[in-house]
A = this chain, B = another copy of it.
């Protein structure tokens, strides 16, 4: 019905050139204030809307930021996203979000799609099984800001935003030891991912510091899916020396473990003390409440957002290959007392 109004329409009715209209609308210095006012008021009067498609083509920027996360439906990730979205939105950027579903293949596809659709920057939290990183080469080559969050990988000229997983793992483990645990078990996610391998390092260091020797029985690598709880139970039941301290890679899985362990008549925390990770809402709703490491997802998202925006605005990378580390915090609750 009502044809969309273009700068040419405005130009014609105002008796100026399209260029002048464009510059007026963008508050370009070489246009007099009077003309700007005329243009702007006429634009409002006629209900002019700038056509983003045209702007994008001519500027070769999309004002969108791509995000690839393993799974949307995780409370941690969606919290991170909430933080990113807030910042991006305030800065006038849209967020295109896609999920890799923990598959490198899908991650590659997503990276390509987002690249093709011309995102101005990309934020990535890696899939479980991502081993090569060629799918990010295009971004780096074309100097499109690429920032890894949480599940990171060190690529030249890419920022990373993380917490000190090793230290966090150390603190969690030491806490268990301090509470009297002698035979620990670290239930880890895929060790290819920094978050889990770093925590393992911390785990080992804490053990070493307290003269506990680490062996394979102290480690169980898992996909952390609900159905894998049975593996945990089996591992614990079949262990020679009874396990009395559990460090679990995330709170949700820890909660599942608690539930099943209780079924198996283990007393938490008297028989087995448990500490989780993330400080998900669930951690204070289970019985007993779950000790954990606070992982500030929202702040992480905010920082990631700010980092991208500053890259984008700064033009030149302010911090080539920098890395931001957020503060974590040990939270002690009933499950380790």
Contact = CB atoms under 8 A, between A and B. Distances in A.
SS class of chain A's interface: helix, strand, loop or mixed? Answer: helix
B75 A75 contact: yes
Given A57-B53, A285-B282, A72 B62 contact: no
Given A52-B117, A57-B57, A82-B99, 5 more contacts: A51-B57, A72-B79, A73-B81, A74-B78, A95-B96
Contacts of A86: 99, 101
Contacts of A98: 85, 89, 94-95
A92 to B, nearest CB: 8
A259 interface: yes
User: Looking at chain A, what size class is its interface with the partner chain?
Assistant: 35 or more
Q: How many copies does the complex hold?
A: 2
A229 to B, nearest CB: 11
Contacts of A53: 53, 56-57, 60, 62, 118
A72 B82 contact: yes
Chain B CB within 10 A, most for which of A52, A62, A94: A94
6 closest A-B pairs by beta carbon, nearest first, are A78-B78, A287-B287, A53-B57, A73-B79, A72-B82, A53-B56
Contacts of A201: none
A204 to B, nearest CB: 30
Interface in A55-104: 56-57, 60, 62-64, 71-75, 77-79, 81-82, 85-86, 89, 94-99, 101
Nearest to A289: B259
A57 B59 CA distance: 12
Interface string A23-56: 0000000000000000000000000011111101
A96 B64 CA distance: 9
A134 interface: no
B85 A78 contact: no
A113 B281 CA distance: 32
A182 interface: no
Contacts of A114: 94
Given A73-B82, A82-B73, A63 B117 contact: yes
